[in-house]
Amino acid sequence: EDKVVQSPLSLVVHEGDTVTLNCSYEVTNFRSLLWYKQEKKAPTFLFMLTSSGIEKKSGRLSSILDKKELFSILNITATQTGDSAVYLCAVAPGNYGGSQGNLIFGKGTKLSVKP
């Protein structure tokens, strides 16, 4: 069965800390891995990763994928209170049957950044 596991489930840090969020997966015919940030409303897209070892970066956030070990990490440096959110990891399996376009989501990591 395809699955995505995120760890930790929750995390409390102080402003300025660096955090690493983990996502491991087991999926048939991997296509891509995506990270989303969800504050009090809809998830917003952060990164999509398809190749191992290539870091994606946006400001203080970065992410990398290891397709051999089947995991990804999301790093946030110099955290701010505005980074407080649930971070979702999702994996897109390759095309098969009628499941085109589906994503398999992890349960998320809830990050709280204290001032």
Partner 1 sequence: DVKVTQSSRYLVKRTGEKVFLECVQDMDHENMFWYRQDPGLGLRLIYFSYDVKMKEKGDIPEGYSVSREKKERFSLILESASTNQTSMYLCATGELAGRKQYFGPGTRLTVT
Ranges of beta strands (E only) in 59-115 are: 61-66, 71-76, 85-93, 104-105, 109-114
SS3 81: helix
Q: How many residues bind partner 1 (CB under 8 A)?
A: 24
Q: Which of the ranges 17-25, 56-64, 75-83, 93-101 carries the binding residues for partner 1, by CB under 8 A?
A: 93-101
CB 87 within 8 A of CB 111: yes
| 61 forms part of the interface with partner 1 (CB under 8 A) | no
| 29 forms part of the interface with partner 1 (CB under 8 A) | no
| 7 forms part of the interface with partner 1 (CB under 8 A) | no
Q: Which of the ranges 11-19, 67-75, 76-84, 97-105 carries the binding residues for partner 1, by CB under 8 A?
A: 97-105
Residue 89, C-beta contacts closer than 8 angstroms, at least 6 positions apart: 4, 6, 21, 23, 25, 33, 34, 35, 36, 72, 74, 105, 106, 108
Binding partner 1 (rule: CB under 8 A), the pick from 64, 85, 92, 113 is 92
| 103 forms part of the interface with partner 1 (CB under 8 A) | yes
- Give the footprint of partner 1 on this chain (CB under 8 A): 31-32, 34, 36, 41-45, 48, 50, 88, 90, 92, 98-103, 105-108
